[in-house]
Structure 1
């Protein structure tokens, strides 16, 4: 059991090292020697766990996905599905240096997916997971009356994914972090597809007190 745990931990270390290398140096920096050096092991140790460079890249992609799942799952806990949807999309933007590095990795991953069926298959799985998270919040918003019942949740999710991807690419090209104005692009598309936020009617304190008094004496 301990040996299996060591095996899993060693793979995780190499995956984290590959993620760091690609985020820093791009896909061209992904060499067996550089990943092994980053992880603090020999190249022989790395080749014992991975058969190819694509295997290393896929392991790094899973490590990156694990790091963003926690904040996304936390965002989904908001009671308002509409607010959860907005928060979920915000967490994917390169608003921090760490997230900007992750976006550099994903750009490299996309590029490799165009040439490797193995990487392409994993990339599609990642997108299905990401789109599914968004569609799930849209469906929850429909149940809460925060989105039109006739709205196509899957199509809207794909639109929002495309918008986030576009913002991410623009940020990398500009060499800056995502600005508040780019968050407003997301707000604008959400409002365009889900409609304006429902107006909550707040009962005046006097009316509420009168209603409670009437109920008590009834």
Structure 2
């Protein structure tokens, strides 16, 4: 049992070190050697988990899903159904400094995935997870009467996915065109002021 706990603690230390480096310098800075130094570990300790930088990068990308998932679960505790949906979806958008940094790094991963099969697989897995999550959001809003009963859930989830991705891309690449507050208001309007996916 203690061995499992120790491995999990070591993994958490490495995750935190990876993301501190990514926050400061982006993907190219996240080498095994630099992560070991950042974590205060011997390089061999990090190599026990990751033989190559590519494995480390895949791990960092997959850890992003865990980070976002934890925050979405916390947001799900909001009792008001409208605010709950907006809070959960807000974790997929660069509406705060932390999510803007994460999503900026995520774009680096997406670009690199064109040439890295393991990263491409992780990006594809994340896309499936997000689509499934958005389908759950749509189903929940239908169940609560916030969306019409005849809403097509797959079409609505696909449309919401495209809308969230569009807001994310514009906020990250052309922030002069759209403020975070405007993006939040547009999301609320998209969800509640029109028949979503009808």
Q: TM-score, normalised by structure 1?
A: 0.77
SS in 2 for 1:194: coil
- Paired position in structure 2 for 1:14: 14
When structure 1 is superposed on structure 2, of 47-56 and 79-88 the one drifting more is: 79-88
Q: TM-score, normalised by structure 2?
A: 0.84
Q: Unpaired runs of 5+ in structure 2?
A: none
Structure 2 CA distance for partners of 1:155 and 1:57, relative to 1, 3 Å: farther
- Paired position in structure 2 for 1:73: 73
- Structure 2 Cα separation of the partners of residues 43 and 178 of structure 1: 42
Q: Confirm or deny: 8 A CA contact 1:21 1:30 kept in the other structure.
A: yes
- Paired position in structure 2 for 1:94: 94
Q: Unpaired runs of 5+ in structure 1?
A: 196-218
Q: CA deviation at 1:43?
A: 2.0
- Structure 2 Cα separation of the partners of residues 51 and 193 of structure 1: 50
Q: Does 1:192 align with 2:194?
A: yes
- Structure 2 Cα separation of the partners of residues 64 and 101 of structure 1: 11
- Paired position in structure 1 for 2:2: 2
Q: How many residues align?
A: 195
Structure with max Cα Rg? 1
Q: Confirm or deny: 8 A CA contact 2:78 2:84 kept in the other structure.
A: yes
Structure 2 CA distance for partners of 1:49 and 1:71, relative to 1, 3 Å: closer
Q: Confirm or deny: 8 A CA contact 1:81 1:137 kept in the other structure.
A: no
> CA-atom RMSD, angstroms?
2.4
